[in-house]
Structure 1
């Protein structure tokens, strides 16, 4: 699976180190971001993209977008516990 993501340019060096040989293509986009293509054998691999936090947006495919959205929502739910410790 090839995942396309939009990345802020000042995080490209970090993305290169994180993705290594998974990185397939980098292109400039009109709105000041980069388009980054990253190869994964399975959808679960896109968890790796979360390392770039708010500096990346998954553009396609939809299963990758959905997984990242669901994982992010789980983090929100955990951190929205008003400081309570989960057991």
Structure 2
């Protein structure tokens, strides 16, 4: 759903058409995403339109980037272990 909403604002009916689940299920997912601050909604006439709010994702990316150094160290150690094990 977040990928769909990344390009443009969409009404719930259009979002529902993209998934093999009920409109009620899509609505529940959208409410969770809204509560998490990942989407915003706006009433336009009789329909509610949803739009991605990417700011929390940028914060998450920044937080996760801190751990990149640990992944790099672990992957280097694994590579060294595999290469040395292969040479024996």
Same fold (TM over 0.5): no
Computing the radius of gyration from Cα coordinates, the structure with the larger value is: 2
Which has the bigger relative contact order, CA under 8 A and spacing at least 6?
1
- TM-score of the pair, normalised by structure 1: 0.29
Structure with greater strand share of residues:
1
- TM-score of the pair, normalised by structure 2: 0.29
Structure with greater helix share of residues:
2
